[in-house]
Amino acid sequence: MKVAKFGGSSVASSEQIKKVGSVIGDDPDRKFVVVSAPGKRFSGDTKITDLLIELDELAEDNKDTQHKVTEIMKRFSEIVEELQVSKTVLDSIENTIHSTLNSDWTGQMKTDALKSIGEDSSAKIVSEYLKTQGLNAEYVNPQDAGIIVSNEPGNAQVLPESYEKLYTMRQKDSISVIPGFFGYAKSGQLITFPRGGSDITGSIVAAGVQADLYENFTDVDSVYVVDPRVIENPEEVTKLTYKEMRELSYSGFGVFHDEALMPAFQAEIPVCIKNTNNPSSSGTMIVSEKDPDTRCVVGIAADTGFSNLYVSKYLMNREIGFGRRLLQILEEEGISFEHAPSGIDNMSVIIRDNQLTAEKELNVINRIKSELNPETISIDYGFAMIMVVGEGMMNAVGIAEKSTAAFAEANISIEMINQGSSEVSVMFGIRKDKLDLAIKSLYNKFFE
């Protein structure tokens, strides 16, 4: 039994939904279908979810909402007409929009309810379309499916009791089409996951029904070993482990919302990333364990937007509690940190720029100066992190050497190296203006 999730580009138009229909029709094991809201049809287009967010903002400001409702309904009408499915779906979508706008929900509750309409409508349309193709499909609301979440609007977390109810869905004969992106709190209130959250729904459903495979359909053939915007036609990754995917998506590997993998990961459900536009391509498999003889480095990921807080003090290594007190100051200022590599008499703390404001930065510096008496303290901006990822590194010799040689050949100075004891990745901090050059040089070393 398979759970197939289709992203925004796969349901963006009638033409795309027809492809979804044939993917489902092709394999009777695809018993659970999770859909996103219609996404962009072309570059510059607006996703339905973004139109719904605009609608919410108009409603919030007590401005006229009718033109936005018309714009949203136009997108849905086009799809429904071109697919030649019953117009009652359109009435149901329009009723949901109006009843949500006129409800007495306020603030984030209303925002979440409006945001969910994209996925909800998409699931209604897809299930109706599948019926016209002779398939026994049924729209299933996340509440009926059993997706129960924490009461955190826009940031729902699945609650463990969901899985028992979801498991009973296995008995159904029909194909269940479930909207992604939202669940219901115990109180019955609709709550959405973070943006991109339909992947999370897919993974929860796969874990709940104990699927043999969770297929995530997008618009790329596979995950690539490196960002295709930097390297043209990079090698495709055929197999990855969950841990490798986590490391890769941490540093800006756009394909997957890493949090989305957790439910599938915990239930040990294999994941396959596939392309709706080219379903016969084998895609990328994400599994819990890989054969030990496969290549040790699977990918290179990178991200910018880091700063380095550097503190040095002679005999720091003998001062009990220095590190803890330094990190506690950050904690008390509400700043989370990414890495903290240290030397004998110095410590660097790598922080994402979005964690810092001018005021927080000043507080942190003043407090470290007065509470820890360091000799030097500085904050250096404009860092990029590059990760060389692969579980096989644990048993391989020379990965760090090969990587540092790549930096040396490109004449790039490494500002920081961090290798966790898990040995799933080695991380390098460099100046951000050298990032593309560094990625190219590493790619040549490991993949060319």
Please say whether the beta carbons of 384 and 303 come within 8 A: yes
Which residue's CB is nearer to ligand ASP, number 8 or number 392?
8
357 is in an annotated binding site: no
49 is in an annotated binding site: yes
Which residue's CB is nearer to ligand ASP, number 112 or number 128?
112
Residue 413 is classified by DSSP as -
7 is in an annotated binding site: yes
Q: Which structure tokens are listed for 281?
A: 């391509």
Q: How far apart are CA 362 and CA 371, in angstroms?
A: 14
138 is in an annotated binding site: no
306 is in an annotated binding site: no
Contacts with ligand ASP by CB under 6 A lie at 8, 36-37, 47, 49, 118, 180-181, 195-199
Which residue's CB is nearer to ligand ASP, number 194 or number 341?
194
Question: Cβ of residue 261: shortest distance to ligand ASP, in angstroms?
Answer: 14
**Which residues lie closer than 8 Å to 193 by C-beta, 6 or more apart?**
149, 155, 156, 181, 182, 183, 200, 201
219 is in an annotated binding site: yes
Side chain identity, residue 63: K
Residue 148 is classified by DSSP as B
229 is in an annotated binding site: yes
Question: Cβ of residue 254: shortest distance to ligand ASP, in angstroms?
Answer: 13
Please say whether the beta carbons of 360 and 332 come within 8 A: no
119 is in an annotated binding site: yes
Sign of CA dihedral 76, 79, 82, 83: negative
**Each residue of 249-271: b (16+ CB within 10 Å) or e?**
bbbebebbbbbbbbbbbebebbb
Which residue's CB is nearer to ligand ASP, number 217 or number 443?
217
Please say whether the beta carbons of 414 and 334 come within 8 A: no
Question: Cβ of residue 215: shortest distance to ligand ASP, in angstroms?
Answer: 15
User: Which of these, 365, 356, 375, 268, lies nearest to 313 by C-alpha position?
Assistant: 375
Question: Cβ of residue 7: shortest distance to ligand ASP, in angstroms?
Answer: 6
Burial class (CB in 10 A: 0-12, 13-18, 19+), 340: middle
Which residue's CB is nearer to ligand ASP, number 218 or number 308?
218
Strands, E assignment, 370-445: 376-389, 416-419, 425-431
Classified as helix, coil or strand, 96 is helix
Which residue's CB is nearer to ligand ASP, number 31 or number 47?
47
224 is in an annotated binding site: yes
Which residue's CB is nearer to ligand ASP, number 154 or number 252?
154
Residue number with the shortest CB distance to ligand ASP? 198
Question: Cβ of residue 213: shortest distance to ligand ASP, in angstroms?
Answer: 20
Q: How far apart are CA 367 and CA 145, in angstroms?
A: 51
Please say whether the beta carbons of 217 and 202 come within 8 A: no
Question: Cβ of residue 5: shortest distance to ligand ASP, in angstroms?
Answer: 9
Question: Cβ of residue 73: shortest distance to ligand ASP, in angstroms?
Answer: 17
Residues annotated in the binding site, as ranges? Answer: 5-8, 49, 119, 218-219, 224, 229
Residues annotated in the binding site for substrate, as ranges? Answer: 49, 119
